[in-house]
């Protein structure tokens, strides 16, 4: 089971003078049960790539197959069922919240799919529980009056209530404080472990991607520049800097120290590994 991109290209405003080629020759497979990270400078095509994953946009060239089915050729109920497999959470959660209560907001997706009665109620309660949103405290509140972190969780709960098999998140940690960010990253890992979901996340915070993902794709000007494990990607730190990406602070420190200790490995994942590496370098090992 996977989402596959076969030689995919995407152009906005096709045929118009301001036509933009947002994606070029993308070959990529997102497997179920993996957490895939997508990084790249602003305008490199990350959001466009995510929108092609659940069929809200169709490729201009090539094919996107969701579990071997092509959303571009399906119609009616079949397309609804297929799109239900891939839950997309937008870049800013405010875009997705509109109902008068948190309950109604989360219930909206499953209701549209025909879920009703106690099953609907169970879905909402379940999604709120998974996202650590207290039912008694929050279900009747207006989503517009919640904090940024709570809004983000309600938006994700609304998508989770559809019971997708893949969860696609555009900048899920943007605007959250360190606690909120940590909680959300832990939740992403939990969704994969407990529910076997495939997760795709875009973030410009490389430390969030490196600490959470199994595999990382680097996009540049609409093309895949590199794919690898977080460690493999961090090995090309210099390239990431040249692309204009900000390395995690601890890797920036290692890069600075490399002038003094040329054999230093700058690809450490997290402060503990980095401390070990610096210790080794200082002791001349």
DSSP secondary structure string for all residues of 55-117: TSS--SEEEEEETTB-TTT--HHHHHHHHHTEEEE-SSGGGT--SSSHHHHHHHHHHHTT--H
Smallest gap, in angstroms, from Cβ of residue 170 to Mg ion?
Answer: 6
CB 93 within 8 A of CB 32: no
- The closest of 8, 37, 33, 25 to 227, measured between CA atoms, is 37
Smallest gap, in angstroms, from Cβ of residue 256 to ligand ATP?
Answer: 26
Alpha helices in 161-236 (DSSP H): 178-195, 206-212, 230-235
- The closest of 226, 98, 82 to 162, measured between CA atoms, is 82
**Residue 48 site contact among Mg ion, ligand ATP, none (CB < 5 to 8 Å, cut-off depends on kind):** ligand ATP
Smallest gap, in angstroms, from Cβ of residue 234 to ligand ATP?
Answer: 20
Q: In the complex, which residues of this chain contact ligand ATP (CB under 6 A)?
A: 12-13, 20, 22, 40, 42-48
Question: Taking CB under 5 A as the criterion, which residues in 43-102 touch Mg ion?
Answer: 46-47
Q: Which stretch binds Mg ion (CB under 5 A): 39-47, 65-73, 101-109, 141-149?
A: 39-47
Nearest to ligand ATP of 206, 281 (CB atom): 206
Closest residue to bound Mg ion by CB: 47
Structure tokens at 136: 């008694």
Q: Is residue 187 packed enough to be buried (19+ CB in 10 Å), middle (13-18) or exposed (0-12)? A: middle
Smallest gap, in angstroms, from Cβ of residue 102 to ligand ATP?
Answer: 27
Rounded distance between C-alpha atoms, residue 178 and residue 187, angstroms: 14
Smallest gap, in angstroms, from Cβ of residue 220 to Mg ion?
Answer: 14
Nearest to ligand ATP of 95, 137 (CB atom): 95
CB 271 within 8 A of CB 250: yes
Nearest to ligand ATP of 38, 268 (CB atom): 38
Nearest to Mg ion of 48, 207 (CB atom): 48
**Residue 42 site contact among Mg ion, ligand ATP, none (CB < 5 to 8 Å, cut-off depends on kind):** ligand ATP
Smallest gap, in angstroms, from Cβ of residue 56 to ligand ATP?
Answer: 12
Please list the residues that pair with 5 across neighbouring strands: 28, 64
**Residue 229 site contact among ligand ATP, Mg ion, none (CB < 5 to 8 Å, cut-off depends on kind):** none
**Residue 98 site contact among ligand ATP, Mg ion, none (CB < 5 to 8 Å, cut-off depends on kind):** none
Rounded distance between C-alpha atoms, residue 180 and residue 195, angstroms: 22
Nearest to Mg ion of 46, 151 (CB atom): 46
**Residue 60 site contact among ligand ATP, Mg ion, none (CB < 5 to 8 Å, cut-off depends on kind):** none
Rounded distance between C-alpha atoms, residue 115 and residue 133, angstroms: 21
Please list the residues that pair with 202 across neighbouring strands: 38, 170
Nearest to ligand ATP of 102, 210 (CB atom): 210
Smallest gap, in angstroms, from Cβ of residue 42 to ligand ATP?
Answer: 4
Nearest to ligand ATP of 133, 219 (CB atom): 219
Q: Which residues bind Mg ion (CB under 5 A)?
A: 46-47
């Amino acid at each position: 089971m996977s989402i596959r991109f076969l030689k995919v290209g995407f152009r906005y405003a096709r045929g118009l003078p301001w036509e933009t080629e947002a994606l070029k020759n993308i070959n990529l497979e997102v497997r179920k049960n993996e957490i895939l990270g997508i990084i790249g400078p602003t305008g490199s095509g990350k959001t466009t790539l995510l929108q092609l994953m659940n069929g809200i946009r169709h490729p201009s060239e090539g094919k996107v197959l969701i579990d071997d089915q092509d959303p571009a050729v399906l119609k009616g109920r079949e397309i609804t069922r297929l799109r239900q497999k891939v839950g997309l959470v937008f870049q800013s959660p405010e875009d997705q919240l509109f109902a008068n209560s948190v309950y109604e907001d989360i219930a909206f997706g499953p209701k549209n799919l025909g879920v009703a009665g106690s099953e609907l109620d169970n879905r909402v309660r379940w999604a709120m529980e998974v996202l650590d949103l207290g039912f008694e405290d929050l279900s009747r509140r207006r989503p517009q009056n919640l904090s940024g972190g709570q809004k983000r969780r309600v938006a994700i709960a609304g998508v989770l209530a559809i019971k997708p098999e893949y969860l696609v998140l555009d900048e899920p940690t943007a605007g959250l404080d360190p606690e909120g960010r940590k909680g959300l990253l832990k939740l992403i890992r939990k969704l994969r472990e407990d529910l076997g979901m495939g997760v795709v996340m875009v973030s410009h915070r490389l430390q969030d991607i490196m600490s959470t993902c199994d595999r990382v794709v680097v996009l540049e000007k609409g093309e895949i520049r590199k794919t690898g494990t977080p460690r493999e990607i961090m090995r090309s730190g210099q390239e990431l800097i040249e692309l204009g990406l900000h390395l995690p602070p601890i890797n920036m420190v290692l890069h600075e120290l490399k002038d003094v200790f040329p054999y230093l490995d700058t690809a450490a994942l997290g402060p503990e590994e980095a401390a070990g590496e610096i210790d080794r370098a200082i002791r001349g090992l």
